Structure 1
Amino acid sequence: MENSIEKKFNKPIIFVSILIPIVVAILFNVKLKDFGIIVEPLSFLPPIYASINGLTAILLIAAVIAIKNGKRKLHENIMTTAIGCSIVFLVMYVAYHMSADSTKFGDLDHNGIVDATELAAVGSMRLVYFLILITHIILSIIIIPMVLFTYVRALASEFDRHKKLARITFPIWLYVAITGVVVYLMISPYYAN
């Protein structure tokens, strides 16, 4: 039987897990300049939020090491920090995309169009990029409720159920964090200066 703490959070977790991707998708397409708000693109943010993804990956590995060594409180603190990093990443990611036009992979001249010459120059790497990007995006949506349910199970002291879900959550979250860095490294040469 589920702990009452977990029951209490079920509906809010489901609500937040649906709301976040919808809000991010909407805000991703909202450009401040379209509302007459002139803002310089926050071009300093992508390397920062990519670094936060890298830090999240390191924190996830450190948290697993901590719990395997019986350091439950350290594990909890690291996981709370990893969730905080993911929230900070999300805010920066949305802020950047509200202030800048989307960057197209392979757009060497930064005109927003990937022409035949540019396509030829990037070749099959464009397909690799999109494969990584699409799996990153899909799994970043799926991971939201998984992280929240895993966390709540720990708070509810449902450690067997927490551990069972964490075994699935960890590799997916780690993949999302690592591919966030990979996506940045692959797209960064095409950012307009």
Structure 2
Amino acid sequence: MESKSLEQKYNKLIIAISVLIPIVVAILFGIKLKDFGFDVEPLMFLPPIYATINGITALLLIAAVFAIKNGKRKLHERLMTSAIALSVAFLVMYVAYHMTSDSTKFGGEGTIKYVYFFILFTHIVLSIIIIPMVLITYVRAIGKIFDKHKKIARITFPIWLYVAVTGVIVFLMISPYYAK
């Protein structure tokens, strides 16, 4: 009963975070600090860093699955907590970059342009969808509701992995077009 109330306790917070993050990111994405008189240099060094963070997150997710399948629960927990922390770091850097730099336009043409926009679109949509899924999965783990945790983790893992991997792919595809 206690674990059920833990889940219920966090439900409102999960909903609030899941709604607020995309809204705040969308608002901040549209704000350019230079338009408000701040003399800031574009943070052009951030995209390769946050793309690397996405890559490391993907590796941590895969390692966490191997850890839990091999009965290494504490390692799994540390890897997942690290993946969440890296995702938060990614988000902060992503927003900071976009608040100091103009958006980069993809310069590819033909089929590759459609491939890029398909990957970008699915990456963005799934990055919004994954927020509550990660939070629910995490709450169920800390609440020791392992049967329900395992059920949702089987759905959360491939989506989160896709978001992490496509974050790297989007960076690699658009990086030739960054302003130098």
TM-score range, shorter chain: over 0.9
Compute the TM-score of the two structures, normalised by the length of structure 2. Answer: 0.98
Question: Paired residue for 1:130, among 117, 122, 136?
Answer: 117
> Which amino acid is the alignment partner of residue 39 of structure 1?
V
Q: Structure 1, unaligned stretches of length 5 or more? A: 107-120
Where does residue 82 of structure 1 map in the other structure?
83
Counterpart CA distance in 1 for 2:133 and 2:30 is 26
In the TM superposition, residue 124 of structure 1 has moved relative to its aligned partner by 1.5
> Which amino acid is the alignment partner of residue 101 of structure 1?
D
Where does residue 105 of structure 1 map in the other structure?
106
Where does residue 128 of structure 2 map in the other structure?
141
Counterpart CA distance in 1 for 2:114 and 2:30 is 23
In the TM superposition, residue 134 of structure 1 has moved relative to its aligned partner by 0.2
CA deviation digits over 1:15-54, x for unaligned, max 9?
A: 0000000000000000001101121110000000000000
Question: How many residues are matched?
Answer: 179
Where does residue 110 of structure 1 map in the other structure?
none
Where does residue 176 of structure 1 map in the other structure?
163
Counterpart CA distance in 1 for 2:14 and 2:173 is 33
In the TM superposition, residue 4 of structure 1 has moved relative to its aligned partner by 1.2
> Which amino acid is the alignment partner of residue 136 of structure 2?
F
Alignment of 1:19-168 (within 5 A): 19-106=20-107, 122-168=109-155
RMSD: 0.9
Classify the secondary structure of the residue corresponding to 2:179. Answer: coil
In the TM superposition, residue 3 of structure 1 has moved relative to its aligned partner by 1.3
Counterpart CA distance in 2 for 1:133 and 1:8 is 34
**Greater helix percent: which structure?**
2
Where does residue 13 of structure 2 map in the other structure?
12
In the TM superposition, residue 123 of structure 1 has moved relative to its aligned partner by 1.7
Whose radius of gyration is greater, 1 or 2? 1
In the TM superposition, residue 122 of structure 1 has moved relative to its aligned partner by 2.3
> Which amino acid is the alignment partner of residue 53 of structure 2?
I
Counterpart CA distance in 2 for 1:50 and 1:130 is 17
Counterpart CA distance in 1 for 2:4 and 2:54 is 32
Identical residues among aligned pairs (%): 74
Classify the secondary structure of the residue corresponding to 1:173. Answer: helix
